[in-house]
Structure 1
Amino acid sequence: MILVVCGPPGAGKTTIATAVRDRLEARDESVPVRLHHSDDFSSRTYEQLFERARDDHREALTIVDGTFYEREWQTQFRTLGFREEIRFVTVTASLETCLERNRTRAEPIEEQGVHVVYREFDAPEDALEIDTDETSVGDAVDRIVGALESWGWLTDRAE
């Protein structure tokens, strides 16, 4: 399964994606988890995320963290397998929260970029939505792990 954690810059995607990976690894070391962050690539970001996810999603839960604000990037990931193998989590926050968090990053992106992605973000259909203005990281991780269980991924792997 591929879990795509998407949303505007500063919404909390990387924090939540990393916490989900850590929770799953602590819960069951036999469950392989791969995590790919869009920030790890300086060019061809979505092509490289696509290649990494395609290469390892059959053997592991693959978590992909990126804005995915354009529908075409979401569609590209949906082509990796059957629709039920790709799940999206949309992480949101107010524009003010996103800007504030961006300012505290070690390498902030230009504020105009935050505004553009925030304004143009096209949320995926059927996504689990998490508003980090209202939800703590721990609660967000609980919701995602619960969703993974309800989707049958964790149950199927444990058998």
Structure 2
Amino acid sequence: MIVVICGPPGAGKTSIATRLHQALALEYPAHTITLTHSDDYSRRTYERLYEEVRDTASDEIAIVDGTFYRRRWQTRFQSLPDVRFVHVTASLETCLARNRARDEADRIDEQGVHVVYREFSEPAADVRIETDDCAVSEAVERVAATIRSWQ
């Protein structure tokens, strides 16, 4: 199964994806659980993410963390078997505040946050999480419970 955690910068994707990876590794010790972040790539990001997870076996869970704000990236991943989208979102003000609170090396140019937020094509998501109203722990439990129902 491939679980795509997508949404604008600062929405909480990476926090949720990282904690979800930890929770699933404990819950499914016999499964291979992988986590791939779009931030790990500086070029051809979505092509490389696709290459990383396209051969995910049926007994594996691959978590992919990225904005996926362009429809074409979503569509390419939706062509894979057993892929699910989790749309993580928050208000623009929250995304900007969280981005400002990041370490300087991890901070995104504020204009970039505005552009991605404005141009974000909302996916046909299996789960939608509003992090203005939902703590990371609650979001992780919601996604983990949904993964259990998919299996």
CA drift at 1:127? 3.0
2:143 aligns to what SS in structure 1?
helix
- Does residue 94 (structure 1) correspond to residue 91 (structure 2)? The answer is yes
- Corresponding residue for 2:25? 25
Distance 1:92 1:63, change over 3 A: same
Letter in 2 for 1:100: A
- Corresponding residue for 1:137? 136
CA drift at 1:28? 2.7
1:55-93 per-residue CA deviation (whole Å, 9 max, x = no partner) reads: 335451000000000110000001122xxx110000001
- Does residue 77 (structure 1) correspond to residue 77 (structure 2)? The answer is yes
Distance in 1, matches of 2:108 and 2:115, equals 12
The runs of 5 or more residues in structure 2 that have no matched partner are none
Distance in 1, matches of 2:66 and 2:28, equals 25
Distance in 2, matches of 1:101 and 1:147, equals 26
Deviation >2 Å, runs of 4+: 55-59
Distance in 1, matches of 2:117 and 2:148, equals 30
CA drift at 1:126? 3.7
Contact 2:11 2:131 in 1 (8 A): yes
Distance in 2, matches of 1:41 and 1:126, equals 24
Contact 2:33 2:62 in 1 (8 A): yes
1:55 aligns to what SS in structure 2?
coil
Give aligned pairs, total: 149
Identity %: 54
2:39 aligns to what SS in structure 1?
helix
2:54 aligns to what SS in structure 1?
helix
Q: Give the TM-score of the pair, scaled to structure 1.
A: 0.90
- Corresponding residue for 1:66? 66
Letter in 1 for 2:26: A
1:133-156 per-residue CA deviation (whole Å, 9 max, x = no partner) reads: 10011110110011111112xxxx
The runs of 5 or more residues in structure 1 that have no matched partner are 153-159
Contact 2:2 2:56 in 1 (8 A): no
Distance in 1, matches of 2:59 and 2:150, equals 17
Q: Give the TM-score of the pair, scaled to structure 2.
A: 0.94
Contact 1:2 1:57 in 2 (8 A): no
Distance in 2, matches of 1:119 and 1:36, equals 25
